[in-house]
Structures are given as structure tokens and as C-alpha cells.
Amino acid sequence: MRMDQGLLPKRKKTKQIHVGKVAIGGDAPVSIQSMTTTKTADVEGTLAQIYQLAGAGADLVRCTCNSPEAASGLAQIIPRSPVPIIADVHFHYEMALAAIDAGVDGLRLNPGNLRKPEEIKLVAHEAKDHSIPIRIGVNAGSLHPDLLKRYGRPTPEALVESARNELDMLEEVGFEDIKISVKASNVSLMISAYRLASETFDYPLHLGVTEAGPPPSGIIKTTAGIATLLAEGIGDTIRYSLTADPVEEARAGRTLLEAMGLRRRRSVDLIACPSCGRAEVDVIAIAKAAEAELAKRSIPLQVAVMGCVVNGPGEAKGADLGIAAGRHRGHLFIRGKVVRVVPEEDMVVALVNEAEKLMKEGVEARLAAADTRAEELAEEDARSARGA
């Protein structure tokens, strides 16, 4: 499987923090976040969504904490969650304190609507006592009114200054367990704000295009923003804010990081040509069906489906498995070698069967290596027992 991670510039090394068991910043892998859409007081419904998000690739999940009922829901959700839970807090510092009492792993505070220094410092004191990190979550849509007045509109400088002001309050009470976001729905504003934030702070940055809207445009806008920054080495954790089932957010985040070689692949990477007048098989149908079947089986291989000899042999050879099609049939490649010719109607089944075999061989090879190592260790133990 090809990994292109080495081609990206080095990521900026930020201060490392931990949200529960997940490390963020430093040399930790870029993590994926999403947010539940259920009422947090609905414990079973929220937990079901958290499990779906974790299954789709989310490392961290945020839940709103906007009422005492939500806080008491959090207290029941957190011990049963497969991933760390972050409480999203706006307007009411008491909700941050309630979330800390509920055992939350992280807090997100919005400097635009939680403004009283004494309240922010009180939350920081409590968070420090419980080793809970805080995200300073600046958002262009809820910028502090003073900054909005001074700058006239949300600008990169205004967003970063908002984060700076909140940061000063937290640092004043010795709190440094911090990550920062400066989100905007405008992609170029978001990119500029994060570039400035990266120059200004050494804390980890949480990237996102806020209120990106429904897919596919929401995914395109978010990818434009996040991928641009990641390609410059900026960003430690990401969220796609889509107007959609949040499972799509987690999937999109995972797909982007895998595509950029920033996370280990755990699902298929399908390379397929767009097809054109030269193709003499139905490339689109074969590629779609192969991707769906391989995704169902969580097969993390690179598979190529190519319509003709123009780019077909090159791509099929470079992938773990590939088809380079001709007239209603194609050459099947396994790890760079042609193994047989497959008729068009059998291509999907052939790819799935061979992928399953490759996965099985990989597991068997790993087990055999583990057995050999266990034998070596047993021999070493026996030798040292004999005083050799």
C-alpha cells in the first residue's frame, strides 16, 4: 500500500495535551472530532450516536452541555463512551462547571459569548484541578462584540486576538492545558486566521470550516480549508462541520487524513479512472461496486479499477490489487504482477476474493512472525536459566 506521508512538509510541533486517552499536538497523529446532534439528556440516543461516530473514525466526540439535564446526561454517558467526550459550552460558565463535575474529558469554551474574566478564571481553576483541557473555540459568527466593533468585520487578526485575550486569562491563573480554534465559514478567512494563529501560538490547533453546510459542497469547502493547512504542516485535530448525519463528518475526516497519509489506512483506497470513450467495460459501475464491497469488509488495501491500457497497467501495477481492462475483460494484477484475465462480469468478485486472500496472508504472516519471536524469547529464557 502506498503511503505518501513523507512527501508532506513536517508538521509544526505544538505543545502536546491529552483529552482523555487521546494525545493532541506534539508528534501525536492528527485526531478526528465530531459532535452529536442528539439532546445530551437522551443518554441512550446520544451513546448510540457516539458509538456510530467512533466506528466511522472519530477519536473524540463533543456533546452540548446547555442545561442541568444535559450535564446529568453527560455523567451517565462518559463512563460508557468508547471515546473521550468534550463538553461544548456557550453563555453559561455554570454549565462548564457542571460538565467538569460530570467527569468530562475536555471543555470547549466560546470567548464570544462567555466573556466575564472572573467566570472564565473560575472554570480554568476547576479544569486545572481535574486535569481537563480547554479549547478556546473562536468562531467568526460569534466574535466578541468589542472586536467586531474595532475591526468592523471578522478578520484573521480579530479571530486571533479573541483567542489571545482568552488565553491571557487562562495563563494568568497558570492554566496551559489548551488547544485553540479560529473557525470561519469563509474558507479563505479560515485559512488566513489559522496561518496567523500558527505563527502566534504554540498550543495545538483544532481545524475546521464552521457551518460548512450540507454535502457535497460542505465537504468540498471543509477539505479546501483543512487540507490546505495540513499540507503546510498546520493543525493537530480536525472537524468537518456538516449539515448532515455526523457520521458523515467522521467519515470525511478519516478519508482526508488517510488520503494525505496522516493516518494509517483502515478502509479501502480505490483508484479508478473517470472512464471515457476508450473504455470497453463499465468502469463506473465496477469501481462503485468494488468500493462498496471492500468498504463493507473494512479492507485497508489500495485497489485500482482502470478502463484501458492508457493508464491502466501503470496504476494497477502500483496498487495492491488492480484491474487494467480491455474489451469486456481485463488483466488482474496482484502486487504488481498480472495473475490472470478476468471477464467483466467477474471483476468485482475477483477483486473482493483476492483482497480477502491478501488480508488473510497478512494476518497469517504477522502471526507466524509473532510465533517465531515467542520461540526466540522462550529459547533465550531457557538459556539464561541454564546460566549460558
Binding residues among 12-31 for ligand SF4 as defined by CB under 6 A:
none
Scanning 7-15, 120-128, 208-216, 310-318 for contacts with ligand SF4 by CB under 6 A, the matching segment is 310-318
Binding residues among 287-306 for ligand SF4 as defined by CB under 6 A:
306
Q: Which is nearer to ligand SF4, 122 or 310 (CB)?
A: 310
Q: Note the residue count of the chain.
A: 388
Instruction: Give me the least distance between CB of 312 and ligand SF4, in Å please.
Output: 5
Q: Which is nearer to ligand SF4, 156 or 307 (CB)?
A: 307
Scanning 11-19, 309-317, 359-367, 380-388 for contacts with ligand SF4 by CB under 6 A, the matching segment is 309-317
- Whole-angstrom CA distances from 42 to 38, 48, 71, 77, 311 are 7, 10, 11, 9, 52
Binding residues among 246-285 for ligand SF4 as defined by CB under 6 A:
273-276, 278-279
- Kindly state the number of chain residues that form the binding site for ligand SF4, as judged by CB under 6 A: 12
Considering the rule CB under 6 A, would residue 367 count as an interface residue with ligand SF4?
Answer: no
Q: Which is nearer to ligand SF4, 78 or 321 (CB)?
A: 321
SS3 31: strand
Residue 2, judged by CB atoms within 10 A of its CB (0-12, 13-18, 19+), counts as: exposed
Please name the helix (run of DSSP H) or strand (run of DSSP E) that holds residue 39, with its range, or none. Answer: none
Angle among Cα 237, 78, 68 to the nearest 5 degrees reads 105
How many angstroms separate the first and last alpha carbons of the chain? 43
Instruction: Give me the least distance between CB of 330 and ligand SF4, in Å please.
Output: 11
Considering the rule CB under 6 A, would residue 307 count as an interface residue with ligand SF4?
Answer: yes
Instruction: Give me the least distance between CB of 343 and ligand SF4, in Å please.
Output: 18
Task: Dihedral sign for Cα 179, 17, 264, 59, please.
Answer: negative
Distance from C-alpha of 62 to C-alpha of 36, rounded to nearest angstrom: 6
Instruction: Give me the least distance between CB of 275 and ligand SF4, in Å please.
Output: 5
Q: Which is nearer to ligand SF4, 308 or 342 (CB)?
A: 308
Beta strand 321-325 with 302-306 is: parallel
Instruction: Give me the least distance between CB of 342 and ligand SF4, in Å please.
Output: 17
Is residue 256 within 8 Å of residue 238, measured between CB atoms? yes
Distance from C-alpha of 29 to C-alpha of 258, rounded to nearest angstrom: 11
Is residue 53 within 8 Å of residue 61, measured between CB atoms? yes
Please give the residue whose beta carbon sits closest to ligand SF4 in the complex.
Answer: 307
Considering the rule CB under 6 A, would residue 218 count as an interface residue with ligand SF4?
Answer: no
Q: What residue type is 274 in one-letter code?
A: P
Instruction: Give me the least distance between CB of 227 and ligand SF4, in Å please.
Output: 24
How large is the greatest C-alpha to C-alpha distance in the chain, in angstroms? 81
Q: Which of 76, 282, 311, 317 binds ligand SF4 (CB under 6 A)?
A: 311
Scanning 92-100, 132-140, 157-165, 308-316 for contacts with ligand SF4 by CB under 6 A, the matching segment is 308-316
- How does DSSP classify residue 30? P
Considering the rule CB under 6 A, would residue 323 count as an interface residue with ligand SF4?
Answer: no
SS3 109: strand
Contacting residues toward ligand SF4, per CB under 6 A: 273-276, 278-279, 306-308, 310-312
